[in-house]
Structure formats: structure tokens, C-alpha cells
């Protein structure tokens, strides 16, 4: 029957779906969820743990290594073969762990960013996850919503839906609930249906769900796809490309080692083959893509805990490059609630928080009683200006309810834009009063007296001048000013009006109010500036209000005059002129959403990475154009959230800065892991290469693989979750031309890899020059064991060096990463167990070492730490001031 829903009257559709306009009953929901399943599009099935495990053996180098190990086993070298198999299996297990960890983190992220819908169930409007919708649910629609399932519309009010993604129709379609006669209509002509994943651009409506998940029109398209392409982030692409380049280089070196070893008769063909393959396997950083994914995914979870929900993984890294943050004012930089800030009574202007007015003061009475706001269980409801007046007294613990009880309202004159006043007539102790609030200039026209320190006297021109001066002073501070006056009434006309009520008033005072900046916003702006990020304010507010708030936040300097531009002024600038002058402006006032795209593009044309906030349907183009689109989780529409890379759960500017800091941390941690892995692998390659060239004994395959396994895997993952360095937000943004090898990372990899290899070879040479034994075989066995231990220990020490690219390891927080501490401890135990435990000596072809030999090993390891510290000290003094 699904294909005829557009032909049936909506009441008939409700009957067929066994529902009603009040929604489904709660008892019916679970049954339908079991029957139809969750409202999601099917994705490619994830592989099982066993499949993940076997997929680790698809790598060509691993396959060759296994074949070589099998040959070694049948050739009689069982110990080497067993160790190789063990290492390969452990390596596969770690690969599964990394992959599963990344998938779990990404799935948790998807769960956090699941869209929600407004539905009517049991006659009550509820907000639920869209994945929990079922056929028969009544969905409420408004501008900015994304249609969560296929719907038959049952009520519309100027409803327009953009269906380009499904039908190709670029213009939003007018929708209605009327049934259609023709059966064979295209999707775009079915005006009474709405389809999953299309966008409401205007109006409101209600619809009953006719299909969910894969049964929807979008689901049919998804089902036609033979496979789902699993996208990878640009970061992962770069890492994979890097791994391929390194693989080629390592294979060349491995071939050289094999050829030289055979020609120089270092070992048998089989032993040299195993050694060369083991070197290639150990030196290729095949774990880098997984480490990048884990680091990115865990970064998103950290941000989510701080109210920044990342919708797209690459956004995490891009955050670290952000140079411009263009933010809405209301609700993001400010609290989105009017607050009384200044109070003036004749000849006395004071801060509202310091003022002391009680229930017996006329100012208090007018502010509370000439007021239509209502107190509910959820808080104050009403006009933001009026709720602010009442909230001011509630914060001061004033008995507002007692005031309402002792003054009964008789009638009221609502505010209108012509007279700019609002009045309430109240009665207290059998006396009647008119209490009026509104614009100062209009209020003074109706004022004849003034209350001065409790005394009522005739208002003078001097009084009027002073009041207007204070009004102007408050207006310059972008405060909204209201005046308050009252008058006793002898009689009340049967037809109350402004003419017979709002006259001969007694002026008592005025207040200045504003939507104040968020308490944390000023510090966040300062932190952004210190980090080399330029914050911009974009608002629909008047120029004066925007300027005042921008100055209070530090976005504008106090003496700034020409750094503010309005939307109308933007319209008068050509694209070329705007590109030239965009750097002059930090505040954009009275702008429409369409101006945002021009602002973003102008900054991008200057080569800047731009983050842009938005919450409306019309903000979607700007959010997509920006390098980082930031949607509002509270006030934002579903369309704006869907167009965003990040959604702020608290609509707070400070959260953007937190996300930028986390983005920088994630990039820095990936850099640290890359520097650590590649320098360690380079050290291993150089050590084995020069051992071969110098005619020394070379590491056994088991030794190479074991060092790579225990010193690479754990520390590299742990470096990915390092805490942010204290100075991370004191550095300039990386910009869009940076990469993982920027900021001296490549040179560090080279010199540190050479240093690792040099120290290892140095300890080997030392062991040969100052032997502990007299037997030639034992001398060389000890030297190889010492080199094995030194190379492993150097890498563990070097992991501490890698905790900061240029900072000293002796700074605060050296041991604040518990996972890192455990990884070093476990790696150290696994490394030295091969030497210290006799049961492993033969297996790993090592010998027990004497205390003097251990001392040489530890000196080699500590020298790595000391030399790198010295180099970083010189870099900080000369290059990174």
C-alpha cells in the first residue's frame, strides 16, 4: 500500500497505519521497533574479531616472513621459527586491539551525534532519537529540521522542503496535506509526502511515518549500492602514502643487507633471508594509520566530554590549523538573556548588583508589577526584558510573590511600538496606581514630578537634562535603557487608554540592561589571541551594541573606531575590495546569514583557515564553505548541525577554544608518535646495515622482531594520548601548509635515528674492545646481547624524549600519562626478560650480562636522553624563541 499513500486522504492513512493524530501509544512502540527495526540505513557489516585477526596477515611482508619461518622450521632452526610465529601472532593481536579501539571510539562518536526528532506520542510532544522512530509515529516539523523518515503529511503551514538530494529539484518544494488523484507520479510531484534526509526550509507541519530505515526512498537507493565505500581521513591518506614511501626505502636497504651478507658470508642464505625480512617488517611503520585513527577518535571523545561533538574526524586535525574564528554574538559570546546592569535614581547611578531596593520602594514595585512575565516550574516565562526585571529581584531574594499578592492588577495597557510604553493599573490598601515603564523620551513627555530620595517634587529642566545625559551615557555602553514612573489614580475610566492613564507621572528612576558576555568568554578570547587566532564577532545586532560587547570581550580594543562594518556597508563593497580590506574588520554588525559566505571566502582568499559558527537554515552554506563549520547544539536547526563539522552542545564560544586546543594536541601527539616510530625504525635499520657492512655479527630475526614489538607498539599508542603541553595555546596556528614533518620533526627523525644507531654500534664496539670473557664466541655473543639491550633501552628512553617535540622532559607532568608509564614498564619487562630469565636466553640467542656490561648498556640508553635534551635546549634558545 506504500505506493498509494499520496492518493489516500491522510485520515485513511492514519487508519491503515493503526495510529491517530495524537500519536502512538507507548505500549505499541516496542512492538513496532521489533517488527520494523531501527530507523537507520544499513551499513556495511563490520568484520568480526576473528576476521580482523586474519586480516592482519594479508600484508605481503608478513606473508613472506611466515613462509621464511616455515622453511627455517623444517631446516632445523626451530627456535627462530617459533619466535617469529609468536611475534607475528602478538603483532596481529595488537593490530586487532588497535582497530577495535578505533572502531569503538568512532561508534561512540556516532552515538553522541545521533540526530533527534520531535514526535507526538500518547498525546504528548517528545524529543527522541531519530533511530527510534517507527511507522505510525507523528512527526512535528519546522524550518531547519531534517526529515527523519518517509512521511505522509497530515498538517502544513507554508511548509517548504528542499529535496535536491533525492529528486534533483534545486528549488524547495511547497508541500500540503491534500490527497492526489494520479497514481503514477514522480517523487518530486508527490506534494503531500516528505522523504527521509530532505530538509525543511520554511514553515511548519506534521506528518505520519509511512516507512523507516531501508524501506524509505533513500533506503531503496542505498540498497542498490553493491558496497559501501569506507572513507578514510586525509590524515590517514597522508600516513598511508608515507608508509608506502618508507616501505620502498626499507625494502631497498633490506635487499642490500641480504646481498652484502651473502657476499661477505655473514650467515647462511636462509639466516640472511630471515634477517632481511625481519628488518623490513620491523622498520615499516605499518601501525601508523591505526595509531592516527585511535588518536583522532579518542580526541573526539575527549572533546565530546567538553561539549564539542565532532561529526567528521578530519575536523579534529583541521582545528589545530584554525587561524580565524568567526562567532555569533547572541548565545555564543553572550548569555542570551537580558540582565539588569545599571540602576539610576535621581542623582545616583550605581551598579545593579550593589543597589539595594526592597518591596517598599516604588522602583521595585513598578519593575515587578508593570510586568507580564510568569513564574513556572521551568522558570520565568515571558518577554526577555520583563523576565530580566523580575529575575533581578529574585536573585536578590526579594519577596516578589508577596508583592504580587499585596497589589492586585485591575487592568493593563500593553506595549506598542508607537508610544513605547507599558502600564499596569494596580490596587493596594484600597488605593489605585498606574505603574509605567518604557522609553525615556516618551516617559518624560508624560512626567510632571520626580521622586528624589523619598520626596516627591516638581520635575525641573535640570532634572530632565540630567536624566537624558545618563540615558545617553548608558546607551553609549550599548545598554538598553528603561525608565519607570507611577501616579496615584482617583478614578479609572471605563475605557482605559494612554491619554487618561499615562499622564502626570512621577519619575522614580531608570535601568540599563544588556545581554551580558558569558563569564568565560573574555578569557577564551584572550586565549585565542595568545594562540595566534583572530576572533571575529558576527551579529544581527546594532553596530553600537556589537561594538560595546566586542570591547568588553577584548575582540576590539577600547580605542577602536573603524574595525566594525555593517551588512549594508558590506553590500556596497565589491568582492575584490572586500578581499583587500577584510583584515581591517573584527566585528560585523547588522549582517544577514548570506553575508557570512562572503566573509568566509574573503578570509580564505587571504590564505586563512576559518572556523564559522551558525544556527539557522540560511547559515548552512557558510558552514559548508568554512574550513570548520560549527553548529549550535541548543539553538541550532538540524540542517545547520548537519552542515557542520562540529556541534557545540552548550552553544559556547569558550568550547570552540577548548576544541581548538584539543585539535592542536591531537596533531602534536600524532607528530610525536611519528617522530618516535620513524626515528626508532631508522635506528634499527642503520644498526643492522652497518653491522653487516663492518663484518660484525648481526641481530637474529627474533631479536629484531622482538625489539620492534615491545618498544614500538605500547609507547607509540601511549604517545597518542599525551596531555596537551602547557605552551600549546601560546604557539601560532600551523596554517594550511604544515604537515607532520613541519616544525623540525623531519630533522629530529634523522638525527635521532642516526644517534640511536650510533650509540648502539658504540656499545657493540666497546664490548669488543673491552671484553668480559676470553672466548671469542662469548665476546661476540656478549657484544651482540649488549647491542640488543642497548637498542631496546635507547628506544624506551627515547619515548620520554618524544613526549615533547622541543620541550624538556624535566618539565612538570613528566609522569602524568598513566598509560605511557605502564607502557614503558611493560615494554621494559618484556625486553629485559629475554636476557635476565635463563629460559629465554637460547631462544633469543642472548647471554647473561655482568654488572659492568649492564652499566655500559644503561650509559648508552641515558646518553640518548642527555644528547637529545641538549639538542632540544639549543633549539629552544636559537630556533624556537
Catalytic sites, residue numbers: 328
Do 292 and 236 touch, CB atoms closer than 8 A? Answer: yes
SS3 671: helix
Give me the torsion for CA of 69, 74, 80, 85, rounded to 10°. Answer: 40
Long-range contacts of 118-121 (CB under 8 A, 24+ apart): 118/145, 119/23, 120/21, 120/22, 120/23, 120/206, 121/23, 121/24, 121/25, 121/26, 121/29
Do 207 and 34 touch, CB atoms closer than 8 A? Answer: no
> Could you identify the residue written with the cell 518624560?
444
According to DSSP, the residues that pair with 534 across neighbouring strands are 324
Q: How far apart are CA 77 and CA 699, in angstroms?
A: 15
* CA 548, chain centre distance (Å): 29
Do 648 and 655 touch, CB atoms closer than 8 A? Answer: yes
Q: How far apart are CA 354 and CA 346, in angstroms?
A: 16
SS3 content of the chain, % helix, strand, coil (to 5): 50, 15, 30
Do 510 and 481 touch, CB atoms closer than 8 A? Answer: yes
Q: In three state form, how does the secondary structure of 255-305 look?
A: HHHHHHHHHCCCCCHHHHHHHHHHHHHHHCCCCHHHHHHHHHHHHHHHHHH
What single DSSP character describes residue 645? S
Q: 182: burial class by Cβ within 10 Å (0-12, 13-18, 19+)?
A: exposed
SS3 41: coil
Closest by CA position to 157, among listed 136, 174, 133, 173: 174
Q: 720: burial class by Cβ within 10 Å (0-12, 13-18, 19+)?
A: buried
Helix (H) or strand (E) holding 108: helix 78-112
The angle formed by the CA atoms of residues 784, 790 and 794, to the nearest 5 degrees, is 150
Residue 200: all three cell numbers together: 525543511
Cβ neighbors of 131 (< 8 A, separation 6 or more) are 38, 39, 40, 114
Q: How far apart are CA 228 and CA 235, in angstroms?
A: 21
> Could you identify the residue written with the cell 556495511?
44
Q: How far apart are CA 154 and CA 176, in angstroms?
A: 8
> Could you identify the residue written with the cell 524529543?
127
Closest by CA position to 762, among listed 624, 860, 645: 860
Q: How far apart are CA 740 and CA 132, in angstroms?
A: 42
Closest by CA position to 586, among listed 660, 534, 519, 650: 534
Q: How far apart are CA 782 and CA 690, in angstroms?
A: 18
Do 616 and 565 touch, CB atoms closer than 8 A? Answer: no
- CA distances in angstroms from 687 to 259, 283, 758, 770, 877, listed in the order given: 16, 12, 7, 20, 31
Cβ neighbors of 95 (< 8 A, separation 6 or more) are 52, 56, 287, 290
Amino acid at each position: 500500500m506504500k505506493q498509494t499513500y499520496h492518493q489516500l486522504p491522510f485520515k485513511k492513512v492514519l487508519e491503515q497505519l493503526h495510529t491517530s493524530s495524537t500519536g502512538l501509544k507507548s505500549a505499541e512502540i516496542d512492538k513496532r521497533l521489533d517488527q520494523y527495526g531501527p530507523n537507520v540505513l544499513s551499513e556495511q557489516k563490520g568484520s568480526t574479531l576473528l576476521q580482523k585477526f586474519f586480516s592482519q596477515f594479508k600484508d605481503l611482508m608478513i606473508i613472506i616472513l611466515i613462509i621464511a619461518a616455515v622453511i627455517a622450521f623444517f631446516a632445523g632452526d626451530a627456535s627462530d621459527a617459533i619466535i617469529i610465529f609468536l611475534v607475528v601472532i602478538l603483532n596481529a593481536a595488537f593490530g586487532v586491539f588497535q582497530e577495535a579501539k578505533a572502531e569503538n571510539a568512532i561508534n561512540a562518536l556516532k552515538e553522541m551525534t545521533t540526530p533527534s526528532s520531535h514526535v507526538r506520542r500518547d498525546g504528548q510532544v517528545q524529543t527522541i532519537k531519530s533511530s527510534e522512530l517507527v511507522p505510525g509515529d507523528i512527526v512535528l516539523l519546522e524550518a531547519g529540521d531534517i526529515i527523519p523518515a518517509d512521511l505522509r503529511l497530515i498538517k502544513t503551514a507554508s511548509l517548504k522542503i528542499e529535496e535536491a538530494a533525492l529528486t534533483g529539484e534545486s528549488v524547495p518544494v511547497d508541500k500540503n496535506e491534500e490527497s492526489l488523484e494520479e497514481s503514477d507520479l514522480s517523487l518530486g510531484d508527490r506534494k503531500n509526502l516528505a522523504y527521509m534526509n530532505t530538509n525543511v526550509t520554511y514553515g511548519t507541519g506534521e506528518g505520519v511515518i509511512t516507512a523507516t530505515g531501508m524501506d524509505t526512498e533513500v533506503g531503496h537507493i542505498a540498497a542498490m549500492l553493491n558496497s559501501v565505500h569506507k572513507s578514510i581521513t586525509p590524515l590517514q591518506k597522508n600516513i598511508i602514502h608515507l608508509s608506502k614511501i618508507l616501505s620502498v626505502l626499507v625494502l631497498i636497504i633490506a635487499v642490500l643487507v641480504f646481498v652484502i651478507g651473502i657476499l661477505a658470508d655473514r650467515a647462511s642464505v636462509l639466516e640472511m633471508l630471515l634477517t632481511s625480512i625481519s628488518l623490513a617488517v620491523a622498520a615499516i611503520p605499518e601501525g601508523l594509520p591505526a595509531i592516527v585513527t585511535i588518536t583522532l577518535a579518542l580526541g573526539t571523545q575527549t572533546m565530546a566530554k567538553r561539549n564539542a561533538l565532532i561529526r567528521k574526524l578530519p575536523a579534529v586535525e583541521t582545528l589545530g590549523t584554525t587561524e580565524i574564528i568567526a562567532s555569533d554574538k547572541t548565545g555564543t559570546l553572550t548569555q542570551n538573556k537580558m540582565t539588569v546592569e545599571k540602576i539610576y535614581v535621581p542623582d545616583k547611578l550605581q551598579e545593579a548588583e550593589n543597589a539595594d531596593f526592597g518591596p517598599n520602594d516604588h522602583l521595585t514595585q513598578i519593575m515587578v508589577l508593570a510586568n507580564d512575565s510568569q513564574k513556572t516550574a521551568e522558570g520565568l516565562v515571558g518577554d526577555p526584558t520583563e523576565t530580566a526585571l523580575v529575575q533581578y529581584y529574585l536573585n536578590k531574594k526579594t519577596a516578589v510573590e508577596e508583592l504580587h499578592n499585596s497589589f492586585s492588577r485591575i487592568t493593563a495597557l500593553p506595549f506598542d511600538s508607537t508610544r513605547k510604553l507599558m502600564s499596569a493599573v494596580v490596587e493596594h490598601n484600597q488605593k489605585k496606581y498606574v505603574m509605567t515603564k518604557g522609553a525615556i523620551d516618551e516617559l518624560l513627555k508624560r512626567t510632571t514630578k520626580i521622586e528624589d530620595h523619598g520626596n516627591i517634587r516638581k520635575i525641573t529642566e535640570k532634572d530632565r537634562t540630567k536624566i537624558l545625559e545618563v540615558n545617553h551615557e548608558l546607551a553609549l555602553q550599548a545598554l538598553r535603557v528603561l525608565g519607570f514612573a507611577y501616579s496615584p489614580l482617583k478614578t479609572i475610566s471605563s475605557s482605559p487608554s494612554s491619554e487618561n492613564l499615562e499622564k502626570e507621572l512621577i519619575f522614580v528612576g531608570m535601568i540599563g540592561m544588556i545581554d551580558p558576555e558569558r563569564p568565560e568568554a573574555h578569557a577564551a578570547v584572550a586565549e585565542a589571541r595568545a594562540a595566534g587566532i583572530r576572533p571575529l564577532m558576527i551579529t544581527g545586532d546594532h553596530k553600537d551594541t556589537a561594538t560595546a560587547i566586542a570591547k568588553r570581550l577584548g575582540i576590539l580594543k577600547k580605542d577602536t573606531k573603524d574595525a566594525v562594518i555593517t551588512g549594508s556597508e558590506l553590500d556596497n563593497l565589491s568582492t575584490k575590495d572586500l578581499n583587500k580590506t577584510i583584515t581591517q574588520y573584527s566585528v560585523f554588525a547588522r549582517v544577514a546569514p548570506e553575508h557570512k559566505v562572503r566573509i568566509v571566502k574573503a578570509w580564505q582568499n587571504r590564505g586563512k583557515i576559518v572556523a564559522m559558527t551558525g544556527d539557522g537554515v540560511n547559515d548552512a552554506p557558510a558552514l559548508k564553505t568554512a574550513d570548520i563549520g560549527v553548529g549550535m547544539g541548543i539553538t541550532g536547526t538540524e540542517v545547520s548541525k548537519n552542515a557542520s563539522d562540529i556541534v557545540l552542545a552548550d552553544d559556547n564560544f569558550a568550547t570552540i577554544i577548548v576544541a581548538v586546543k584539543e585539535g592542536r594536541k591531537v596533531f602534536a601527539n600524532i607528530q610525536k608518535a611519528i617522530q618516535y616510530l620513524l626515528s626508532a625504525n631508522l635506528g634499527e635499520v642503520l644498526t643492522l646495515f652497518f653491522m653487516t657492512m663492518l663484518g660484525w655479527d648481526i641481530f637474529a630475526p627474533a631479536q629484531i622482531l622482538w625489539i620492534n614489538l615491545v618498544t614500538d607498539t605500547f609507547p607509540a599508542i601511549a604517545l597518542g594520548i599525551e596531555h596537551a603541553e602547557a605552551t600549546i595555546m601560546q604557539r601560532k596556528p600551523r596554517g594550511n601548509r604544515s604537515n607532520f614533518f613541519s616544525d623540525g620533526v623531519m630533522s629530529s627523525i634523522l638525527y635521532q635515528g642516526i644517534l640511536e644507531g650510533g650509540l648502539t654500534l658504540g656499545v657493540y664496539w666497546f664490548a669488543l674492545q673491552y671484553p668480559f670473557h676470553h672466548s671469542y664466541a662469548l665476546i661476540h655473543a656478549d657484544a651482540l646481547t649488549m647491542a640488543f639491550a642497548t637498542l631496546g633501552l635507547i628506544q624506551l628512553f627515547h619515548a620520554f624524549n618524544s613526549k615533547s617535540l622541543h620541550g624538556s622532559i624535566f618539565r612538570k607532568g613528566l609522569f602524568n600519562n598513566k598509560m605511557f608509564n605502564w607502557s614503558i614498564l611493560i615494554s621494559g619487562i618484556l625486553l629485559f626478560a629475554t636476557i635476565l630469565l635463563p629460559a629465554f636466553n637460547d631462544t633469543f640467542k642472548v647471554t647473561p650480562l655482568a654488572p659492568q656490561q649492564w652499566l655500559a648498556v644503561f650509559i648508552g640508553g641515558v646518553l640518548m636522553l642527555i644528547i637529545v635534551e641538549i639538542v632540544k635546549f639549543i633549539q629552544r634558545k636559537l630556533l624556537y624563541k
